[in-house]
Amino acid sequence: MRIYSKIAGTGSCLPEQIMTNMDLEKIVDTSDQWIQERTGIKQRHVVREGETTSTLAINAAQKALDAAGVTAEDIDLIVVGTTTPDLIFPSTACLIQNVLGCSGIAAFDVNAACSGSIYALSVADKFIQSGTHKRVLVIGAETLTRMVDWNDRTTCVLFGDGASAIVLESSNEPGILSTHIHASGAHGDLLNATVGVSTGLKNEPNGGLKIRMKGNEVFKMAVLTLGRMVKETLKANGMNKSEVDWLIPHQANLRIITATAKKLNMDMDQVIVTVDKHGNTSAASVGLALDEGIRTGQIKRGDILLLEAFGGGFTWGSALIKY
Ligand code: COA
């Protein structure tokens, strides 16, 4: 009998502090109208001093554990999608494990930028399917505002902070039907962080760490690739577009989300949209949208969910799930 991973519970956490488009107008040469028209973003949550990727993640994880009706002791693996770890090491997963108090179980980070949520979900699903692990805590958590260049209007208006968590459980019933992950390192120069440990930090504010993106080119690639991704996912499961109840996309830009929904012939009321409130929270975004859909009662048990993401690397991925 096939072993599936089933979503037992979800949770999320957003920092209390909100930065609106009007707040950004005071920092860079931009306007609320431009940001809303080009991206759909109205506001984003921004960490305060003392808040980190792991503090947000721990909060989200606790809510997911509560929703699943389990405790940290019932978890046998932690996988964290993040590109903004608290530290280079220990990994964010180890920091989270320490606070949750489930010492001894395996815990590691996955860096796939904005596709981190799908990559982490895919890795966790494989562990459960192999039969070695029964209950996995899958987290997507980011503090991208810590590496945003607040002088660069082409990027600083896009990103926000947050964390999401999913408890995945082994089950004989579906479950995650399939996951699909891909990458193209050849496009790394279109979207990246400018410095790293091995290449060396610079003698500049924040060590020279900034997000750089050729937005227009990333936009075109994202729309094209996500369209192909949707086809690949449905084909692998012998399913039609009409069988998908909910599209739960990475929340980078409302125009990208709308284009993907159109390719699926889906109305926007079948799409969970949070980009207006959260901005792009990278690896946290798909899980944040999933949690919102579940907690608002829109997503119901038995619904077919299509999760997808695209991000720096380039990386991209999808998951088809019977909730
Ligand atoms: N406020 C006002 N004007 C801005 C601006 C801002 N925040 N940012 C850019 N502009 C200007 C540009 O300078 C440019 O001006 P010009 O025509 O005088 O040169 C104009 O707006 C258009 O810029 P462009 O980059 O072509 O806009 P766009 O329609 O492509 O929108 C993004 C920019 C970033 C919103 C969009 O390209 C995007 O969302 N890209 C993909 C992001 C993504 O999916 N990332 C993947 C995962 S992280």
pLDDT single digits (tens) 251-304: 999 999 999 999 999 999 999 999 999 999 999 999 999 999 999 999 999 999
Can 114 be counted among the known catalytic residues?
yes
**Domains in the chain: boundaries:** 4-173, 178-322
pLDDT tops 90 at residue 169: yes
- What is the predicted pLDDT for the residue at 194? 85
Computed over every residue of the chain, the mean pLDDT equals 97
CA–CA dist 207, 111 (Å, integer): 20
Of 66 and 194, more confident: 66
Model confidence at 84: pLDDT above 90: yes
Q: Who lines ligand 1 at CB under 6 A?
A: 30, 34-35, 38-39, 114, 153-154, 157, 215-216, 218-219, 222, 252-253, 256, 280, 310-311
- The per-residue pLDDT for 231 is 94
Residue 157, pLDDT > 90, answer: yes
% of the chain at pLDDT higher than 70? 100
| Candidate CATH numbers 3.60.70.12, 3.40.47.10, 3.40.50.300, 3.40.1670.10; the one for domain 4-173 | 3.40.47.10
Rounded distance between C-alpha atoms, residue 105 and residue 221, angstroms: 38
Asked, colleague to colleague, whether 4-173 and 178-322 share their fold, the answer is yes
Choosing from 59, 250, 253, 278, the catalytic residue is 250
Residue 215 CA to ligand 1 center (angstroms) comes to 6
- How deeply is 197 buried, as exposed, middle or buried, from its count of CB atoms within 10 A (0-12, 13-18, 19+)? exposed
| 59 alpha-carbon distance from chain centroid | 16
| Average confidence (pLDDT) over 204-219 | 95
180 catalytic residue (yes or no): no
- Kindly state the average pLDDT of the residues 15-20: 98
Over range 307-315, report the average pLDDT. Answer: 98
Count of Cβ atoms closer than 10 Å to residue 52 Cβ = 20
The 3-class SS string of the chain reads CCCEEEEEEEEEECCCCEEEHHHHHCCCCCCHHHHHHHHCCCEEECCCCCCCHHHHHHHHHHHHHHHHCCCHHHCCEEEEECCCCCCCCCCHHHHHHHHHCCCCCEEEEECCHHHHHHHHHHHHHHHHHCCCCCEEEEEEEEEHHHHCCCCCHHHHCCECEEEEEEEEEEECCCCEEEEEEEECHHHHHHEEECCCCCCCCCCCHHHHCCEEECHHHHHHHHHHHHHHHHHHHHHHCCCCHHHCCEEEECCCCHHHHHHHHHHCCCCHHHECCCHHHHCECHHHHHHHHHHHHHHCCCCCCCCEEEEEEEECCCEEEEEEEEC
Residue 280 among the catalytic residues: yes
The predicted model gives 88-111 an average pLDDT of: 98
Domain 178-322, classified CATH 3.40.47.10, yes or no: yes
Strand order from edge to edge, sheet including 304-311: 176-183, 315-322, 304-311, 246-249
Whether the model pTM is above 0.85: yes
pLDDT single digits (tens) 53-72: 999 999 999 999 999 999 99
Rounded Cα distance, 145 and 160, in Å? 6
What does the pLDDT read at residue 136? 98
